[in-house]
């Protein structure tokens, strides 16, 4: 099963992608997480990506596409994967499609988690993230069992550098300008499914499971 998660920053892509990955035993591939681990590790890629991410802009396609295609050609992705944060531009979607076609493969579903902008700012303000396994929490809506520590791996939770209020609005603008056109793109491909992302994480996951069981 090859799945794409679409939706604005803070819509809950990561929250749900982790659950889907566990449920279907496929890797969760988050371009945001890959960039953040490169930044933490001080790699060349991380150095190039850092400024864009901190400002809430997209990392250029030249850096992003190759990195993602590399990742999904690893052996653990043979049985499928859930892509979280990729594609984010039409050229990214086209490159992915071309690369898959060469191997006689295709994406099965593009899941769009719909959350109005008015909800997003509050979600970002209270988000805490695990720098090790990528799990996300919310001080109010999804607190960890032990304050400040990841339920899944015990690491200390952090506030992401791009979750500052002034950056969040910029990320939403970038989303509407550059990523939103992908909704029509995948609708035309016939694989788009839309989910109400304003419900609780459990309710959103149930809705996703129902859609995935039809594939």
Catalytic residue IDs = 13, 88, 127, 160, 171
**Computed from CA positions of residues 148, 57, 82, 186, in that sequence, does the dihedral angle turn out positive or negative?**
positive
Q: Are 1 and 24 in contact (CB under 8 A)?
A: yes
Of 58, 30, 32, the C-alpha closest to 174 is 58
Q: Kindly tell me which of 50 and 132 has the beta carbon lying closer to Zn ion.
A: 132
When asked if residue 100 is in the footprint of Zn ion (CB under 5 A), the reply is no
Site for Mg ion in 4-63 (CB under 5 A): 14
**Computed from CA positions of residues 171, 122, 85, 111, in that sequence, does the dihedral angle turn out positive or negative?**
negative
Residue 137's binding partner among Zn ion, Mg ion, ligand AP5, none (Cβ under 5 to 8 angstroms by kind) is ligand AP5
When asked if residue 150 is in the footprint of Zn ion (CB under 5 A), the reply is yes
For the chain, how are helix, strand and coil distributed in percent, rounded to 5? Answer: 50, 15, 35
Counting residues that bind Zn ion (by CB under 5 A) gives 8
- Footprint on this chain of ligand AP5 (rule: CB under 6 A): 7, 9-15, 31-32, 35, 52-53, 56-59, 64, 85-86, 88, 92, 123, 126-127, 136-138, 141-142, 162, 171, 197, 200-201, 204
The pair of three-digit structure tokens given for residue 122, joined into one six-digit string: 């509050």
Q: Kindly tell me which of 88 and 193 has the beta carbon lying closer to ligand AP5.
A: 88
When asked if residue 133 is in the footprint of Zn ion (CB under 5 A), the reply is yes
d(CA 155, CA 143): 14
Question: Minimum distance from CB of 7 to ligand AP5 (Å)?
Answer: 6
């Amino acid at each position: 099963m090859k799945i794409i998660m679409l939706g604005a920053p803070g819509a809950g892509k990561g929250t749900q992608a982790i659950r889907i990955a566990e449920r279907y035993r496929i890797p969760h591939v988050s371009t945001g997480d890959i960039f953040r681990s490169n930044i933490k590790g001080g790699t060349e890629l991380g150095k190039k990506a850092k400024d864009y991410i901190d400002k809430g802009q997209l990392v250029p396609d030249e850096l992003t596409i190759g990195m993602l295609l590399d990742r999904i050609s690893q052996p653990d992705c043979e049985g499928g994967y859930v892509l979280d944060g990729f594609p984010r531009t039409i050229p990214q979607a086209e490159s992915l499609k071309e690369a898959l076609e060469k191997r006689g493969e295709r994406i099965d579903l593009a899941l769009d988690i719909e959350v109005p902008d008015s909800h997003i700012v509050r979600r970002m303000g209270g988000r805490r993230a695990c720098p090790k396994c990528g799990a996300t929490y919310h001080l109010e809506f999804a607190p960890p069992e032990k304050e400040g520590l990841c339920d899944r791996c015990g690491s200390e939770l952090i506030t992401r550098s791009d979750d500052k209020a002034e950056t969040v609005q910029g990320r939403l603008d970038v989303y509407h300008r550059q990523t939103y056109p992908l909704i029509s793109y995948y609708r035309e491909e016939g694989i788009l499914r839309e989910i109400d992302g304003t419900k609780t994480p459990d309710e959103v996951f149930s809705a996703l499971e129902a859609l995935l069981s039809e594939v």
